[in-house]
């Protein structure tokens, strides 16, 4: 009897989840804000925090200067406008004194990601619709990998509707190209994640 009740609960929960989410293409379009490095930590690198902040802007400019290679529309499977000014503001405000870490397993918590999205929301010019951003967690030079949260959010409220971590390989010559390699790899992984967003017309508080 207990097993039957558990099965029924899981079945109902699954049906509810399906009803309260939607595929990305159903959003119609999104605004892609680039890569937010504001809360990112760096492990095992010899470059200075100032050097890292300097390349954060250069990495985000690739979404404009090399749009075919760094294409959020292709990655997310829904038409994406690109606007990187807001993340530029956040990245320039990164805390250089606490950027380097000795913790090779550092990850942002759900609360960390949500607070950063709220801060980003206050900097964007759009007032409604859906936003997408990669929130950088750890740039691990020792492992040649970087971890990002792939986030979809409601621009009007700042509510996170989808959040999934991806860890991808970094490669390339020079500081910008090396970590841009991990961003490119992450963009390629997004379309394989089968991301779904919470339907914010039904879910008021996450």
Give me the domain span that covers residue 61. Answer: 31-198
Question: Which is it for the CA torsion 28, 65, 56, 170, positive or negative?
Answer: positive
Asked, for residue 25, whether it belongs to a domain, the answer is no
Asked, for residue 80, whether it belongs to a domain, the answer is yes
Asked, for residue 6, whether it belongs to a domain, the answer is no
Q: How many domains does the chain have?
A: 1
Convert the pLDDT of each residue in 53-95 to its tens digit: 999 999 999 999 999 999 999 999 999 999 999 999 999 999 9
Asked, for residue 110, whether it belongs to a domain, the answer is yes
Q: Are 87 and 64 in contact (CB under 8 A)?
A: no
CA dist list (Å): 33 to 22, 47, 57, 85, 125? 21, 26, 12, 8, 11
Give the pLDDT score at 201.
Answer: 56
CA dist list (Å): 25 to 58, 80, 134, 138? 29, 11, 18, 29
Asked, for residue 1, whether it belongs to a domain, the answer is no
Give the pLDDT score at 65.
Answer: 98
Convert the pLDDT of each residue in 163-186 to its tens digit: 999 999 999 999 999 999 999 999
End-to-end CA distance of the chain: 32
Q: What is the pTM of this model?
A: 0.88
Asked, for residue 103, whether it belongs to a domain, the answer is yes
Question: Which is it for the CA torsion 187, 193, 198, 199, positive or negative?
Answer: positive
Asked, for residue 26, whether it belongs to a domain, the answer is no
Q: β-pairing, 130-140 with 29-36?
A: parallel
Query: Pick the residue with more confidence: 6 or 139?
Result: 139
Give the pLDDT score at 200.
Answer: 64
Asked, for residue 81, whether it belongs to a domain, the answer is yes
């Amino acid at each position: 009897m207990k097993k039957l009740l558990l099965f029924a609960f899981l079945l109902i929960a699954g049906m509810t989840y399906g009803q309260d989410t939607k595929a990305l293409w159903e959003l119609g379009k999104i605004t892609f804000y680039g890569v937010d490095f504001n809360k990112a930590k760096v492990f095992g690198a010899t470059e200075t925090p100032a050097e890292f902040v300097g390349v954060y802007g250069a990495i985000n400019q690739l979404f404009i200067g090399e749009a075919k290679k760094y294409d959020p529309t292709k990655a997310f499977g829904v038409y994406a406008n690109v606007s990187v000014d807001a993340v530029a503001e956040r990245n320039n405000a990164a805390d250089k004194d606490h950027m380097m870490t000795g913790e090779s397993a550092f990850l942002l918590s759900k609360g960390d990601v949500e607070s950063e999205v709220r801060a980003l929301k206050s900097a964007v010019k759009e007032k409604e619709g859906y936003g997408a951003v990669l929130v950088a967690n750890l740039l691990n030079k020792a492992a040649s990998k970087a971890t990002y949260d792939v986030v979809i959010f409601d621009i009007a409220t700042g509510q996170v509707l989808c959040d999934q971590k991806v860890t991808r390989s970094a490669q390339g010559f020079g500081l910008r190209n090396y970590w841009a390699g991990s961003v490119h790899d992450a963009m390629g992984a997004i379309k394989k994640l089968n991301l779904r967003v919470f339907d914010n017309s039904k879910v008021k508080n996450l």
